[in-house]
Amino acid sequence: MRVLHTMLRVGHLDRSIAFYTDVLGMQLLRRQDYPDGRFTLAFVGYGPESEGAVIELTHNWDTDHYELGNGFGHVALAVPDAYAACDAIRARGGKVVREAGPMKHGTTVIAFVEDPDGYKIELIQR
């Protein structure tokens, strides 16, 4: 078994695809409209789905906003340099919500950014 994808419901699909591709550097792997169900699925990632986990962006055509609730935490991405990643993300219009630095009670360098729907993306320096 392996993790295939994480699904996030998004309010504005094109805006979300732009964030994940233009700001975080992922690729749009596939996109499919389901007119009878009134939704679109778009899959983004850093490589083919056959080789690693990806993110599924689900856009329900009649919903432009979701309450995130308090159960979801974040999606984590490995980066070589969290400080440089924050600078690059900010330069591309992304929102850094926790600057790079050592995690509380530890030494691992982390940062958090936020996507257009408010989902948190953790950057973990490797």
d(CA 14, CA 23): 13
**Which residues, in sequence order, are bridge partners of residue 60?**
39
Residue 114 clears pLDDT 80, i.e. is over it: yes
What is the predicted pLDDT for the residue at 79?
A: 97
- Work out the number of other CB atoms within 10 angstroms of the CB of residue 37: 10
Residue 101 clears pLDDT 90, i.e. is over it: yes
pLDDT in tens, 18-61: 999 999 999 999 999 999 999 999 999 999 999 999 999 999 99
Residue ranges of domains in the chain, CATH in brackets: 5-60 (3.10.180.10), 75-125 (3.10.180.10)
Residue 70 clears pLDDT 90, i.e. is over it: no
Extract the tokens encoding 108: 């691992």
Residues classed as catalytic? 122
Extract the tokens encoding 92: 């591309």
User: Among the listed ranges 16-30, 32-46, 61-75, 78-92, which one has the minimum average pLDDT value?
Assistant: 61-75
